[in-house]
Amino acid sequence: MARRTEPGSLPKEVAERLRALLCAMQDTIALQVIAERAAARLEDLSAIVNVTESDTIYHIDSITEHAILAWFEANWPDDLPTEIVMEGISDQSRPVFPASAVGKDVRFVCIIDPIDGTRGLMYDKRSAWVLAGVALNHGRDTTLADIQVAVMTELPPIKQRMLDQLSAVRGAGRQGVRSERVSLDTGERESLVMQPSRAVDLHQGFVGVSRFLPAGKALLARFEEELYRSLYGDANVATLSIFEDQYICSGGQIAELCSGRDRMIIDIRPLAHGKLGLTGAMDCHPYDICTALILTELGGVVTGPIGRVLTAPLDTTTSVAWIGYANAALGAHVQPVLVDVLDELFSR
C-alpha cells in the first residue's frame, strides 16, 4: 500500500502511462458497446440482469463489465498492480491486476463506471460515458480526493458518428487536460478545446439540479426556486432566464461543465432523500463522479454541498452529494447563498 502523499505527487511518467492505459481501455470498450448496440434490440439491452446495493444492472451494463475485466486481464502491466472498484462488482470481491499481485502490495486503486448514463443510452436518447479514475492506494481510506488520473469516453447515440474523450492528470492544470474527438467511421482523432464558462452569474445560462426520479423531486424543486430567490430577489424570479438541463449522467454533467455548455450542476439527492426518510432511492456514487478531476484541472470547482473537498471512499455504495461550478468566481457568487438555503430546508 502506498504511503499517503500530497496530491500531484505521482511521477509524471507513471501518470502518463496510466492515462494511456485507461484511454486504450475505454477506446476498446466504446467500440464494443457501439457494435453491440447496433446489433441488439432495445428490449435485449434494457433487460434487467441484476439489482445490486448500488444500482440496477441492465444487460448493456453487464456486457461492458465483462469486457473491461477481460481487457485488464490481457493488457494491464505487471509493474502497476491495481485493485479494481467497479459498478457491478461487490466491494468485498475486488479483482486485482495482474492476478499475481493478489495479497501483495497493490499500489493503485482504479474506480470505474462501465456505463454512466445507461438509461439514456439504451433508449438511444443521449450519450453515456465510460468513466475511470486512478488513485494511490491507501486501503479503505482511499477517497475521491486521492484520484491522480481521470479519463472519460463518450458512448454516443446510434446516429452520432463521433465521440469525445477527455482525460487529466492531477496538478498539471489545463496543460495536462487532453480532449479529442474521434470519428467512428475513420478512427481519425482531432483535438478539442475545452473551456468552462467564464460567466460569474447564472443569467442566460444552463444549470442542472439533479432530480431524475419522483423521489424527493418536490423538495429539490423547492430548493432550486429558493436558491434563485435568495440570489436574485423575489421580484425577479418570474423573469429569470436560467435554463434547466436534466442529463441523467454525472459524467455527462461534468462534460457539459468542461465544454462551457453548463454553468453549474447541483446534485444533493442524498440530502433530500435523507430529509424525507427515503431509503433505496437513486443517488450519485463515487464511480459516477470519479472524473471530476478533469473539470478542476480546467479551472472549474467541484465540492460537497457546503464547499468541502469530496472525500467519499472509493466504493460502490456511498451516496455522494456534489456541486460543480464552471469557475471559482461563479462558485464564490453562489456558494454562500446556497449554504444558507440548504441550512433552511435540510437542517431544521
CATH classification code of 205-346: 3.40.190.80
Task: List, for residues 276-297, the tens digit of each pLDDT value.
Answer: 999 988 999 999 999 999 999 9
Domain ranges of the chain: 12-191, 205-346
- CB neighbourhood size of 175 (10 A): 8
* Composition of the chain by helix, strand, coil, percent to 5: 40, 25, 40
For residues 329 and 197, the answer to whether their CB atoms sit within 8 Å is no
Q: Please report, for residues 156, 243, 244, 261, 266, the alpha-carbon distance to residue 208 in angstroms, rounded to integers and kept in the order given.
A: 21, 8, 5, 11, 6
Rounded-to-integer distance, Cα 127 and Cα 125, Å: 7
Domains 12-191 and 205-346 share a fold: no
For 12-191, which CATH superfamily applies?
Fructose-1,6-Bisphosphatase, subunit A, domain 1 (3.30.540.10)
pTM, to two decimals: 0.93
- Return the pLDDT at 136: 96
CA angle 332, 334, 340 (to 5 degrees): 110
Low-confidence ranges of the chain (pLDDT < 70): 1-8, 39-59, 61-62
For residues 153 and 163, the answer to whether their CB atoms sit within 8 Å is yes
Task: List, for residues 208-249, the tens digit of each pLDDT value.
Answer: 999 999 999 999 999 999 999 999 998 788 899 999 999 999
3-state secondary structure of 214: coil
For residues 243 and 262, the answer to whether their CB atoms sit within 8 Å is no
DSSP class of residue 39 equals H
Q: Pairing between strand 162-169 and 322-325? A: unpaired
Cα torsion at 36, 31, 46, 121 (round to 10°)? -140
Cell representation of residue 280: 433505496
